[in-house]
Amino acid sequence: MSSSSNFIVNSADSGIGCFYRLLHWGPCIALTVIGIVSSCSIICDLQWWPPTTLWGGVHLIVFCFWVTATLYNFFNAAFLGPGHVPRNWAPKSKRDEDKLQQCIVCKGFKAPRSHHCRKCGKCVMKMDHHCPWINNCVGHFNHANFTYFLAFAPAGCLHGLCILIPSMYRAVTKNYFIRYGSEYDPIVTLSVTMFIFSMLAVGLAVGVIIAVGGLCIIQIRSIIKNETSIESWINDKAHWRRRDTDEEWIYPYDLGWRENLRQVFSSFYKSDGYRWTVKEGCNQYTLTVEQLQQKAEKRERAITYVATEKYNGSWFPISKGICVACCPPCVDEPRIPLLNGDKVSVTRWRK
C-alpha cells in the first residue's frame, strides 16, 4: 500500500504467488492459442521466407514484435492488476460518506468509479469487467495494457495468416515448384502433423481476429467516452430516469476524446484511483450520488416473491422441467439456492 495515494495493486500477487494467477482455464487457453499460432507461423516463415535475406529478416522481426508485444501486455494486464481499494477504506471527510456506497464484503466505502468484484473478492478501481482470459479484473491501472493486448493479438494473428496460408499452399503444391519453379522459389515442407497444426493455427487466428478484434473496438469506443461498461449502464439509467423531465444529466468523466485517451494511455497515471478529473459543473461525487439515487428507486420498485419449490442453485435445473433447464439467464452471476418459503426481492434487469 502506498502511503501517499493509499491504493493496492495486486498486493497478494507479489513474488512467486503472482504466477498462480495463470493457473486458470482462461490464461491457459489464451497462452495456448498464442503459442500455437506464433510457433506454427515462425516455423512456416523460416521455410517460406528465410531470414538470411534482408526482407526475410525484417519480416520475421516484425512478426516477433507482435508476439512479444502481445505477451508483454498480457502479463502486465494479468499481474499488474486494476488496483484495489483497501479494506475498511473511508473518505477523509466524514461529510463525504453519505455520498458513497458501502461495501459489505470489504467493510468500507466504495471510492468513486470503484465496484466490488465477486470473483476477486475486492473493490476494484474504475472497474470495467472481470476478464477470465487474464484471470483478473480490467480497471484503472491495467486498462491500457489490456487494450494494447486486444490490439496486438489480432494484428499478430493477421500477420500469421499471411504466413500460414501461403506456406500451406506451397507445401501442398511442393512437387509443382520442384519440377517447374525457379531456383529462387522457396520449398516449404510440412509433415502431416505440422500441416494439421497449421490448419488449427489458421482457425484460431481467424477466431482471435474476429472475437478479440471486436472486443478491442468495444474497448476503444469506451475509452474515447471515458466510460467503463458498468458506467455505461449507470449512464443509460441516468438518462432514462430523466426522460420525462427537463433536468439534464451530465456524465462527469467525458472530457473530450483527446483527453479521454490521455486518461488511459498517458505514460503517467492521471489519477490515483480515488480522485478524478471531472467536467465543469460536476464534482467528485456526481456519479456516486446518481448511483445511490438509482439504487434507492430500485429498492422502491422491488417486488417480493415467495419460493414455492426448493432450488439448489444449479445452472441447468433438469428437475424443474426441460423448458426451465434450457432457458437459463445469459449471465455469469451466481445462482441463489432457495428453500420452500424463502422470500426474494425481484427488480427489473437494466432500467
Name the strand (E) or helix (H) holding 74: helix 54-80
Strands 108-109 and 102-103, by their bridges, are: antiparallel
- Compute the CA torsion angle 30, 35, 38, 44 (nearest 10 deg): -140
Q: Which of 44, 103, 123, 131 is catalytic?
A: 131
Residue 296, number of CB atoms within 10 A of its CB: 9
Identify the three-state secondary structure at position 119. coil
CA distance 57 to 295: 59
Residue 15, number of CB atoms within 10 A of its CB: 6
- Compute the CA torsion angle 13, 19, 21, 23 (nearest 10 deg): -160
Count of residues in the chain: 351
263 and 145 in contact (C-beta within 8 Å)? no
Closest CA to 231 of 106, 86, 223: 223
Let me know if 157 is a catalytic residue: no
Closest CA to 281 of 249, 242, 238, 233: 249
111 and 89 in contact (C-beta within 8 Å)? yes
DSSP strands (E only) in the chain: 84-85, 102-103, 108-109, 115-117, 122-124, 129-131, 136-138, 303-306, 343-346
Long-range contacts from 51-58, C-beta under 8 angstroms, 24+ separation: none
Axis-axis angle for helices 229-241, 286-301 (nearest 10): 70
Give catalytic residues, as residue numbers.
131
